[in-house]
Structure 1
Amino acid sequence: MFIQTEPTPNPNVLKFLPGREVAAAPREFLNAGEAAASPLAEALFGLEDVAGVFFGADYVSVTRRADGRDWAQMKAPILAAVMDHFVSGAPLMRDEAAEAGDAGDDSDIVAEIKQLLDSRVRPAVAQDGGDILFDGFDETTGVLTLRMRGACAGCPSSSATLKAGVEQMMKHYIPEVTSVEQVI
């Protein structure tokens, strides 16, 4: 198995591409307690200076501690953990019960927002090792709130991505959106 690595715009996040499907739905782990749900995430949090793990469709993003070791020291143990997991054939998640979606009760505007996020925004940010999720939309003020995960969370350019990219696109296609804000 050959695993490629790719830098992301966030210098504290590195993308690992095992050349196969990783997750059917994106998952993020921000600490070792959350990582207990996944054998791979748990193994990665067992390594020194790992601060976060994100599973995308075909990649694993690992966040290092800002004050930790550099990637040259961390890359080999991470590659070994990812390879060991996929070679073993173990499931990605210990409990494969998927989180239930919230599709049925959406207004037409919220459905449009989610469709635009899924078709245009999420594929673009996935290339950088992250994800953007719908959090909420206030129909009276027009404020759309989004949650950034993976390499996008804490990235120096995330504010520019939200304001210059996502907000402008949303305002163009969905005039009811007046502003886009990040939920932390």
Structure 2
Amino acid sequence: MTDLTLTVQATSHPDIIKLEANRALVKGSYEFKNIDEAKGAPLARELFYLPFVKTVYISSNFIALKRFPIIEWTDVQEEVREQVLIYLQSGKAIVNNDGGQEIATTVYTETTPNPAVMKFVLNKRLVPIVIEYKNATEATEAPIALALFENFPFITEVFLDDNYISLTKSDTEEWEQYTAAIRLFITNYANEGRTFISQAEIKKQQASAQAYWLSQTTNDAISQQIAALIEEHIKPAVASDGGNIQFISYTPDTFLVRVLLQGACSGCPSSTQTLKKGIQALLKSKLSNPKIQVEAI
């Protein structure tokens, strides 16, 4: 679907924009007023992770979005368009009338600047947070990492992030001998429905990372102002969709604002960038500082 295009169309209602495709997207019409109503509509669910999205309407060749008045469409509509276009071009389901059909996992490899490291990329998300294991002892709650250490003894490190696994090898072996075998191993492992990492391990890793970032919180006058703006304008909408956003820090020299995304927000990769841009636009406007940049953790 790489020839698919998506354009932003204004409507007579200032709270609503229309994303119009150059081909039909669905049969029939669908309207969703919250994330619970969108259980069978994966695209709508992802859009509801954006705190400013109030209603999603999908029909024929367009998607219409109604906003909460916490941001102007002109500040975020291009980011939203890009994220929706990426989703549509991926071929993922827009609406699952029958609950959808599970797609087989595929794996491809990518070389990295480090010759000792090979990247194995899957067509599904593995983890919501960066997790790293340096030996089998550390990986008791991560079955995929443990299996890789045990089946390929020359692997010295397993690194997981989003939809890929990066493996570091010892100097005694060359990737050319094992890349195909490892790719097949991971593919079979995934398609057998085996657990990659236990939920308890993911929660533990998330708690550790969040504790670290919360320990870095700044409390100067501008930081307090930013935290108040997030609490008033962003946090209520995020909370309504099962997520949370926490101000972490502000660096005056670089105008960098760090925020911590939790709950549903941290579990939605395609929305993180757009959410970040929305917060960035809000802070630039409210603080009258066009140099502010936001980093979502």
How far is 1:104 from its partner? Answer: 4.3
Structure 1: distance between partners of 2:165 and 2:138 = 16
- Segments of structure 2 that go 5 or more residues without pairing to the other structure are 1-104, 224-247, 261-290
Structure 1: distance between partners of 2:192 and 2:133 = 21
Cα 1:33/1:115, change in 2 over 3 Å: farther
How far is 1:173 from its partner? Answer: 7.7
2:156 aligns with 51
Deviating beyond 4 angstroms after TM superposition, the runs of 4 or more aligned structure 1 residues are: 113-118
- Out of 91, 97, 107, the position equivalent to 2:218 is 107
* Structure 2 residue 118 is matched with structure 1 residue 3: no
Structure 2: distance between partners of 1:36 and 1:95 = 13
1:34 aligns with 138
- Out of 118, 123, 129, the position equivalent to 1:25 is 129
2:158–2:165 contact (8 Å) kept in structure 1: yes
How far is 1:117 from its partner? Answer: 9.7
2:119 aligns with 15
2:249–2:259 contact (8 Å) kept in structure 1: no
Cα 1:21/1:173, change in 2 over 3 Å: same
1:40–1:81 contact (8 Å) kept in structure 2: no
2:172 aligns with 68
Cα 1:13/1:104, change in 2 over 3 Å: closer
RMSD of aligned alpha carbons: 2.8
1:43–1:81 contact (8 Å) kept in structure 2: no
- Segments of structure 1 that go 5 or more residues without pairing to the other structure are 119-171, 175-184
How far is 1:3 from its partner? Answer: 1.1
1:35–1:41 contact (8 Å) kept in structure 2: yes
TM-score (norm 2): 0.36
TM-score (norm 1): 0.56
Higher-Rg member (1/2): 2
Deviations 1:23-67 (A, max 9, x none): 1111100011112221100111011311100001011000001x2
Structure 2: distance between partners of 1:72 and 1:84 = 20
Q: How many residues align?
A: 120
1:7 counterpart letter in structure 2:
T
* Structure with more contact order per residue of length (Cα contacts < 8 Å, sep ≥ 6): 1
